[in-house]
Structure 1
Amino acid sequence: MQRSELEQLLTPEGLRLLDSLPPYTNGGDIVRSVADLRKSGHPASLVGTVMTQARLRARATSKFSEFASRMLFTDAGLEQATRLSVAAVHAGRFRSAGITRVADLGCGIGADALALAALEISVTAVERDEVTAAIAAYNLAPFPTATVENGEAESFDLTRVDAAFLDPARRTSGHTNTTRMTDPADFSPTLDFVFEVARRVPTGVKLGPGLDRGLIPSECEAQWISVDGQLVEMGLWFGSLARPGIRRAALVMRGGAHHELTGPEDSEDVEPGELGAYLYEPDGSIIRARLIGDLARSLGTRLVSAQIAYLTGDTLVESPFAQAFRVREVFAFNVPTLKRELRIRNIGSLEIKKRGVDIDPATLRTKLALKGSESATLFVTRAGGKHVAILADRMTPTT
């Protein structure tokens, strides 16, 4: 979004027009909406801007639910924005630590600052990009404890606050068509700067869940979060924001419920053993936090194979930290054999999962030429020192 487009949008006419639009849908409805707006005399540039915002608001519903309908976005800002449910978890840390003044350095469109302000924590949101800062100011306008500053995170005076939160930009600059950066030296601000802030004040940092674990400082708490089965972030917490005795945590958020497994360090693995009647797939947060051993011991299960994140046991145990599957049969991994056996079992819908083997599930699916009315899950992995294909049924939790 260009500054001129935002200025046009942030007028009484622009905001009224945006709020008057029907729910955004793809296809011919868009063409008709644009034509109707142009026929009503609205400038083409404004029509394009409000339609873009309508599209972004529709996309943002998954992160911000009903709040999306009163917020403004950029493509890049929405992509990196924290889900509101997760931002509320972040904000709760600051409140629990008794912190009342927070700097959100690199606030983007203001999602985390919004959650902090909702708890009546005084938050100064700092954003280097002028347009994004203006959008954050609009989104935070209902909260008297929030202010937005257009400036560099590196220049902020930390003596003004009690703590800091940082979500370093991990995409190239711009509002659309950005690409993901993998080198922490390219983040904005850099990890070196982030960790320097953490040495000065209690600090929370949002990072991608796949960040090299070798970069995690030993003195912080690292928490991986998944939402409805999707691994969304790794948070690092320093000073009073880190919980005593916890260095690894996996938080599973599903259907409004929160479940957490924590440990003082990476947990020690359990031994592999024979495949049992049930196979368990740990949540991604458990895998990234390396708490599989602790989970296995709590479930009374064992590894299917060393260094592979599948567990197995002889009894069904429900857990928010793992999906259970009932094992039907085990085959040697051989495409002609699998094709024949699946055809015999009338399986036409097949979920394919793999670990510890170099295959492409999409290519395998094509080779299997599935036909039939039944469904199942196929795990291609290692067990007993060889490649196997495990045919299984996903178990539905009773609670």
Structure 2
Amino acid sequence: MDAAILSKLLTPEGWTLLGSLPPYDERQAMKTVTSLRDRGVAPDLAAAVVTQSRLRARARAKFGDFADGMLFTADGLEQATRLLVAALHARRYLSAGVTALADLTCGIGADSLAFAGTGLRVVATDLDEATAAIASWNLRHFPEAEVRHGDGLALDLRAERIDGLYADPARRTGGGAGGRSRRIVDPRAYAPPLDAVWALRETVPAVGIKVGPGIAHEGLPDDAETQWVSVDGDVVEAGLWFGPLAPEGPGRSALVLRTFTDEDGKEHTLSRTVRGDDDAPEVGAVGQYLYEPDGAVIRAGLVGQAAAELGGRLVDPTIAYVTTDSPADLPSARPAEPAGAQAPIATGYRVLDTMPFGLKRLKAYLRERGVGRVTIKKRGTAVVPEQLRKQLVLTGTEEATIVLTRVAGNQQVLVVEPLGAA
């Protein structure tokens, strides 16, 4: 965001104008901009407030009602930690006895919000001047947080009496004007590179680094707990936790979070952490039930651990599907009494039928059963679900769920229904 536009947004006129806009509607965006300009609002300010309105609407998924008092950039929002997960980050530092934390790459200030909100003294830095200004605005209610425009790696940690470090390195290239940013996969190309942040643990042992969930297992530091996190089935991040921030010791783990609202309108979060050595699980024939482990469990390489807990076996040594002969004892994602309940580590299905994959055979099977709508799940196959759906040409009134995967090395179709379905 241009610094001049940001300064206009932060004037009483700009802030009042932003607050006066109706809920964002993509279909009305251009009409809203035109209406503002007709009222004498400068074109750049009109475009800026509508852009912020759009970003706030998107941000509610991560920040809830807090989004209505925040400012964003598109890339900053894309990388920002969900408030639910940021609160768990803050809990790690508090449990480790940290009192003063440096957020070395604060972005729009999402994690620093959680850190300061729990009483930690925070020094937040960002190399981009406009982004640092946005973080300052988003943290304006927290005197515990100080935002600086500069290089966090240049902080004198001892002089600042910092006893905890956090970094969320940039993992996207700039898209330019009107362009689209591109995700960076290689940790050496992060800004700053992971090696530069890892080195700081020699000065401050309590170091946490957020990384992309696609990070490879090869090259992960031996002295860190690497934890993959999912929220409602979406793998949102991986984190590297060093020293006192990893009380269970180094290794790989998965944190599964499920959220729901009960009948009284109260929000709940269920969690479950999976750890352990991923011993080679048993592989065998498809049973009466099929389970898909949560994405965080899969990314952490703990499918074997999940299979052991589910009392099952893999359908193929290279595929993350677990099968059992009887239903596994999984907790409900919406328990009647949420207190003390845990999040389920897998999604379960009842297996209705299996067959070798073949378009003609599958079309005939679904047509005979009057299927007109099909949910297609896949793992270990090159089939594109959207293309297959068109090729099936279904016209019936029934619904079906099919799983395309490998079983003992062969392409198979599993016809299933979600457990709990009528």
Shorter-chain TM-score tier:
over 0.9
Is the 2:404–2:412 contact (alpha carbons within 8 Å) kept by the matching residues of 1? yes
Alignment of 1:52-201 (within 5 A): 52-159=51-158, 160=160, 161-173=162-174, 177-201=180-204
- Overall identity of the aligned pairs, in %: 46
Alignment equivalent of 2:272, drawn from 260, 263, 275: 260
- Distance of aligned partners of 1:203 and 1:258 in 2 relative to their CA distance in 1, 3 Å threshold: farther
Bigger mean CA deviation after superposition, 325-334 or 381-390? 381-390
Q: 4+ residue runs of structure 1 moved beyond 6 angstroms?
A: none
Is the 1:302–1:312 contact (alpha carbons within 8 Å) kept by the matching residues of 2? yes
1:343 aligns with 2:392: no
* Matching residue's letter, 2:225: E
Counterpart-to-counterpart distance in 2, 1:275 and 1:262? 24
Bigger mean CA deviation after superposition, 212-221 or 372-381? 372-381
* Matching residue's letter, 2:193: T
Aligned position for 2:236: 232
Counterpart-to-counterpart distance in 1, 2:133 and 2:76? 12
Aligned position for 1:9: 9
* Matching residue's letter, 1:262: V
Aligned position for 1:356: 380
Give the 3-state SS of the residue equivalent to 2:218 in structure 1: helix
* Matching residue's letter, 1:353: K
Alignment equivalent of 1:307, drawn from 309, 318, 330: 318
* Matching residue's letter, 2:110: A
Aligned position for 1:294: 305
After TM superposition, give the deviation of residue 32 of structure 1 in Å.
3.3
Aligned position for 1:269: 280
Give the 3-state SS of the residue equivalent to 1:215 in structure 2: coil
Aligned position for 1:391: 415
Counterpart-to-counterpart distance in 1, 2:203 and 2:288? 52
* Matching residue's letter, 2:385: P
After TM superposition, give the deviation of residue 397 of structure 1 in Å.
8.7
After TM superposition, give the deviation of residue 167 of structure 1 in Å.
0.4
Counterpart-to-counterpart distance in 1, 2:152 and 2:385? 43
Bigger mean CA deviation after superposition, 128-137 or 210-219? 210-219
Cα shift readout 1:257-292 (whole Å, capped 9, x = no counterpart): 23223324x411311112111100000101111221
Is the 1:165–1:205 contact (alpha carbons within 8 Å) kept by the matching residues of 2? yes
Is the 1:246–1:263 contact (alpha carbons within 8 Å) kept by the matching residues of 2? no
After TM superposition, give the deviation of residue 127 of structure 1 in Å.
0.3
Alignment of 1:208-227 (within 5 A): 208-227=212-231
Alignment equivalent of 2:293, drawn from 272, 282, 285: 282
Aligned position for 2:403: 379
Cα shift readout 1:284-307 (whole Å, capped 9, x = no counterpart): 101111221221111111111112
* Matching residue's letter, 1:188: A
Counterpart-to-counterpart distance in 1, 2:388 and 2:203? 52
- Distance of aligned partners of 1:135 and 1:195 in 2 relative to their CA distance in 1, 3 Å threshold: same
Cα shift readout 1:123-149 (whole Å, capped 9, x = no counterpart): 111000000000000000000100100
Give the 3-state SS of the residue equivalent to 2:236 in structure 1: strand
Is the 1:5–1:46 contact (alpha carbons within 8 Å) kept by the matching residues of 2? yes
* Matching residue's letter, 1:300: G
Counterpart-to-counterpart distance in 2, 1:365 and 1:291? 32
Alignment of 1:312-323 (within 5 A): 312-317=323-328, 318-319=330-331, 320-323=344-347
Counterpart-to-counterpart distance in 1, 2:386 and 2:29? 33
Counterpart-to-counterpart distance in 2, 1:194 and 1:298? 36
- Distance of aligned partners of 1:322 and 1:188 in 2 relative to their CA distance in 1, 3 Å threshold: same
Cα shift readout 1:161-216 (whole Å, capped 9, x = no counterpart): 10100001011136763211222222100011021123332111101111111121
Aligned length: 396
Aligned position for 2:335: none
Give the 3-state SS of the residue equivalent to 1:158 in structure 2: coil
Is the 2:226–2:239 contact (alpha carbons within 8 Å) kept by the matching residues of 1? yes
Is the 2:225–2:252 contact (alpha carbons within 8 Å) kept by the matching residues of 1? yes
Counterpart-to-counterpart distance in 2, 1:96 and 1:258? 20
1:331 aligns with 2:355: yes
Bigger mean CA deviation after superposition, 322-331 or 166-175? 166-175
Counterpart-to-counterpart distance in 1, 2:53 and 2:59? 10
* Matching residue's letter, 1:57: R
Give the 3-state SS of the residue equivalent to 1:144 in structure 2: coil
Counterpart-to-counterpart distance in 1, 2:273 and 2:410? 32
Give the 3-state SS of the residue equivalent to 2:122 in structure 1: strand
* Matching residue's letter, 1:332: P
After TM superposition, give the deviation of residue 44 of structure 1 in Å.
1.6
Aligned-pair Cα RMSD in Å: 1.6
Counterpart-to-counterpart distance in 2, 1:375 and 1:333? 19
- Distance of aligned partners of 1:144 and 1:376 in 2 relative to their CA distance in 1, 3 Å threshold: same
Counterpart-to-counterpart distance in 1, 2:410 and 2:97? 54
Counterpart-to-counterpart distance in 1, 2:116 and 2:51? 27
Aligned position for 1:22: 22
- Distance of aligned partners of 1:102 and 1:397 in 2 relative to their CA distance in 1, 3 Å threshold: farther
TM-score (norm 2): 0.90
Counterpart-to-counterpart distance in 2, 1:70 and 1:90? 22
Give the 3-state SS of the residue equivalent to 2:307 in structure 1: helix
Cα shift readout 1:41-71 (whole Å, capped 9, x = no counterpart): 2212211111111111011011101000000
